[in-house]
Amino acid sequence: MNIDEKGFNQDFQFEAPMAPKRTRLQEFWLLFRQNRLAILGLFIFILFFCCAIMGLFITSGPDPLFDPAMIRLQEKLRPPLAKPNLDSLRREEIPCLGFYLMGTDDLGRDVFARMLQGAWVSLTVGFVAVGISVLIGIFMGGVAGYFGQHHIRVDHILMTILLISGAGLVMAHSIRFGAVLLCLTLAYIFYSFFTQNRSGEKSVPSWAKVFRKSAVSVDTLIMRIVDIMLCFPSFFLILTVVALLPASIYNIMIVIGLTSWMGTTRFVRAEFLSLREQDFVAAVKTLGASNFRIIFRHMMPNAIAPVLVSATIGIATAILTEAGLSFLGFGVPPPHATWGNILSDGKNFIFDAPWLTFIPGIAILIVVLSFNLFGEGLRDVLNPKLRERH
Amino acid sequence: MLSFIGRSVVQKIITLFFVSIVSFLIIHIAPGKPSQVDPMNPKFTPEVVERFRKEFHLDKPLHVQYLYFYKDLFTGETVSWKDNQSVLKKIWERFLNSLPLFIVGTIITWTLSFPIGIRSAIFRGQFYDRSATFLSYLLISIPGFFFAYVLIIFVVNQFHVPVIGMETFGIGDGASLPHIFMDRIWHLLLPSVLGATGGIAVLSRYVRSQMLEVEGQDYIRTARAKGLSPEQVHYRHALRNALLPFVTMFGLILPGLIGGSVIIESIFSWPGMGRMAYEAILARDYPVILTVNFVSAILVLAGTFISDLLYLIVDPRIRL
């Protein structure tokens, strides 16, 4: 029997250890390479990344190579590739390329310098906003998926409501009442910690048992929060909040991040619900790994694929949202250029100076397109169900 | 069935309650007061501000303001802070303006994306499919405001028709009826096409993937094997099953009625909901902002409810 098996093996030339020949990354790259559009997207993305970082260095600082804020009123609305009129310019006003690569705007500022400055804004808005939303999404989804079966007691909910309303009252300037509520809540929290440590179930009087009942599971609670967030029309909500807050680039990033985590939460929760039941998680649990280690070392790498895809496409959406906000005149305060506000300033001269509309518009289009193509390519590769069978 | 309806209605009402609280808090805790909108206005003396605050209960604590606001909303007495008109009446007027935009946009979306999606599923991997895919990515990625200007330039230069606003200014007097009609159509066309672009791209991709999934099923192979013509296989056997999820999407387009198009409506000066909301945000007209938010939350919830219900009715495999 043994000999037979050996002969069989030799005939068909099985290699003895059946470990995969390629690493996961190589496998991934081989699949990814077949998708030409996705490769194009990745290429443009890298190019954009380099431009943005380079742009940050050469347009900022005390004496920048390209000064996006340099106003040359005598040189306004020059078309792309136009030579500057050297007689009317002072030495430091001459653009360093010797010509205006993308023309000048209505104040004679170099559009190329402004585009470079705006690239960095688009890049950071995309990445920071998506970073925030992915972090919140992974946290909420992970908690809902992994600890979803735990229940929240009635007293927890009551205390949270009291805490929030207390804080709200303090903010709404009825400080005395709010402070009383806050103190009450804090006292109760200390009390419950204290009794929990002594594991004193017996000390609870019978009337207080109502408060010890479990009300909702963590999973239900988080999913209801997601439902509530989904009820807001997102662009309108972002617009409201950004309009009410003082104008700053960081507010936009944070607000976009805080209003777009729901999708990630749903993905992560769904993945965690199925992963939690799998054998390898049970095995790790029996080995005595902590919850933290199970979640981040063993479950997260398996659940990250859809998050990665939605994050890539989320960056595209965030860049579009920021451009839309800048276009409406919210967001980054004026002297700083973003692609959205270059376009929105330029639209007034659309017939005299079409480049002021078309250059930023096409730049946004190409960058967003590259992120979308790259994200869809990732989805095809990471999701074996969508792969074409050959 | 009845228990499902009851349960989800209760759930949605609870969600709505929390939405109302959250939106109220967001607006009122954010820095800046509505009484400070126009500090340079000489008519804005401290006494006027004080009267203003008293009139709209702004001097009361937050929870009392909340109760006042939603009491007014449910009795239909909410008034805008800006012009003291009834908010519900204002919203209704604007809603009627937005409605044609929404209807035409939806018709364009649904009539275009189905043929495109089905065709690219049938010709999977071929030139048509690949160009349709690329085109739909292009449409998703193009910023709406940029596309709007490109289209405006194109239409105005090629056809010499005015497109901004709901109708040409002053066309009402002296023009013939077909003239007015064509004028309205031209004004309607561009914003609705713009509103539909994203929808066409997303929906046609979805139709394609749904169609591909059904085409891979065993019963399609059976249908081919028994010698049916390709038309019959595609349109009678595959398409009918692929259409199932789209019935539910009728419910999900409902929120588009309101959240639609702040940017497009402001570019085209279209006096619709989105533009009203935008103006309300600029003027810190809290009652209008909150009411729009509340109505759109109701629409979202009603939309999901309708789509759940439709799914129940359409798909007999689902029994709750």
Tell me the chain A residues in contact with residue B149 when contact means C-beta distances shorter than 8 Å.
Answer: 347, 350, 357, 361
B112 shares its domain with B240: yes
Tell me the chain B residues in contact with residue A239 when contact means C-beta distances shorter than 8 Å.
Answer: 262, 277-278, 281
pLDDT at B37 over 80: no
Q: What is the pLDDT of residue A17?
A: 63
Band (pLDDT 50/70/90 cuts) for residue B172 is low
Question: Tokens for A1?
Answer: 């029997």
Contact B25 A347 (CB under 8 A): no
Q: How far apart are CA A342 and CA A345, in angstroms?
A: 5
Q: Is residue A267 part of a domain?
A: yes
Q: What are phi and psi of A2, to 5 degrees?
A: -60, -45
Q: How far apart are CA A163 and CA A180, in angstroms?
A: 10
Q: What is the pLDDT of residue A132?
A: 95
Lowest mean pLDDT among A11-15, A112-116, B10-14: A11-15
Nearest-Cα residue of chain A relative to residue B32:
A244
Q: Is residue A308 part of a domain?
A: yes
B68 shares its domain with B103: no
User: Percentage of chain A with pLDDT > 90?
Assistant: 14
Contact B146 A344 (CB under 8 A): no
Q: What is the DSSP string of A82-122?
A: BPP-GGGS-GGGS-TTSSBTT-B-TT--BHHHHHHHHHHHH
The total domain count for chain B is: 2
How many CB pairs below 8 A link A and B?
A: 128
A contact test, residue of B140, B141, B299 with most A CBs within 10 A = B141
A232 shares its domain with A273: yes
A316 shares its domain with A341: yes
Q: Is residue B59 part of a domain?
A: yes
Question: Tokens for A327?
Answer: 């276009």
Q: Is residue B179 part of a domain?
A: yes
Q: Which of residues 75 through 114 in chain B touch A, CB cutoff 8 A? A: none
Tell me the chain A residues in contact with residue B262 when contact means C-beta distances shorter than 8 Å.
Answer: 235-236, 239, 328
**Which burial class, exposed, middle or buried, applies to B233 when counting CB atoms under 10 A from its CB (0-12, 13-18, 19+)?**
buried
Question: A309 and A375 in contact (C-beta within 8 Å)?
Answer: yes
> What helix, strand, coil percent values describe chain A, rounded to 5?
70, 5, 25
Handedness of CA A202, A205, A210, A212 (dihedral sign): negative
B71 shares its domain with B103: no
Handedness of CA A181, A187, A193, A198 (dihedral sign): negative
Give the residue with greater pLDDT, A95 vs A231. A231
Which pLDDT tens digit goes with each residue over A269-305?
Answer: 998 998 888 899 999 989 988 888 888 888 888 888 8
In residues, how long is chain B? Answer: 320
A101 shares its domain with A224: no
Which pLDDT tens digit goes with each residue over B201-211?
Answer: 889 988 998 89
Q: What is the pLDDT of residue A43?
A: 92
Q: Is residue B305 part of a domain?
A: no
Q: Is residue A257 part of a domain?
A: yes
B69 shares its domain with B100: no
Q: Which domain holds residue A97?
A: 72-108
Contact A373 B137 (CB under 8 A): yes
Which pLDDT tens digit goes with each residue over A169-194?
Answer: 776 666 777 788 788 888 877 777 77
A99 shares its domain with A118: no
User: Percentage of chain B with pLDDT > 90?
Assistant: 10
Contact A236 B134 (CB under 8 A): no
Last residue of a domain, one of A56, A86, A108: A108
Last residue of a domain, one of A58, A91, A108: A108
Contact B262 A234 (CB under 8 A): no
pLDDT at A14 over 50: yes
Nearest to A367 by CA among A322, A320, A332, A329: A320
Q: Which residue has the tokens 């109220």?
A: B24
Q: What is the largest CA-CA distance in chain A?
A: 97
Give the residue with greater pLDDT, A36 vs B320. A36
Lowest mean pLDDT among A212-221, B11-20, B138-147, B240-249: A212-221
Return all residues near B219 (Cβ < 8 A) that are at least 6 apart: B237
B67 shares its domain with B116: no
B100 shares its domain with B71: no
Nearest-Cα residue of chain A relative to residue B154:
A351
B65 shares its domain with B120: no
Q: What are phi and psi of A178, to 5 degrees?
A: -60, -45
* Mean of pLDDT values over A134-158: 85
Q: What is the pLDDT of residue A212?
A: 67
A35 shares its domain with A103: no
Contact B29 A344 (CB under 8 A): no
Q: What is the CATH number of the domain that holds A45?
A: 1.10.3720.10
Q: What is the pLDDT of residue B215?
A: 86
Q: Which residue has the tokens 């933290």?
A: A292
What is the per-residue burial (b if ≥16 Cβ within 10 Å, else e) of A226-239?
bbbbbbbbbbbbbb
Element housing B197 (H / E): helix B177-215
B101 shares its domain with B53: no
Which pLDDT tens digit goes with each residue over A252-270?
Answer: 889 899 989 998 999 899 9
Q: Is residue A9 part of a domain?
A: no
pLDDT at A64 over 90: no
The total domain count for chain A is: 2
A32 shares its domain with A98: no
Lowest mean pLDDT among A72-76, A134-138, B17-21, B68-72: A72-76
A95 shares its domain with A39: no
Q: Is residue A177 part of a domain?
A: no
Rg of the Cα trace of chain A? 29
Q: Is residue B260 part of a domain?
A: no
B107 shares its domain with B240: yes
A357 shares its domain with A345: yes
Q: What is the pLDDT of residue A297?
A: 87
B129 shares its domain with B186: yes
Q: What is the pLDDT of residue A390?
A: 39
Q: Which domain holds residue B23?
A: 2-75
pLDDT at B5 over 80: yes
Band (pLDDT 50/70/90 cuts) for residue B277 is confident
B68 shares its domain with B120: no
B127 shares its domain with B241: yes
What is residue B59's DSSP assignment? T
Q: Is residue B225 part of a domain?
A: yes
- Helices (H) and strands (E) in chain A — how many of each? 16, 2
A249 shares its domain with A315: yes
pLDDT at A13 over 60: no
A contact test, residue of B14, B146, B304 with most A CBs within 10 A = B146
Q: Is residue B317 part of a domain?
A: no
- Measure the CA angle with vertex B319, ends B314 and B320; round to 5°: 125
A274 Cα distance to chain centroid:
24
Q: Is residue B300 part of a domain?
A: no
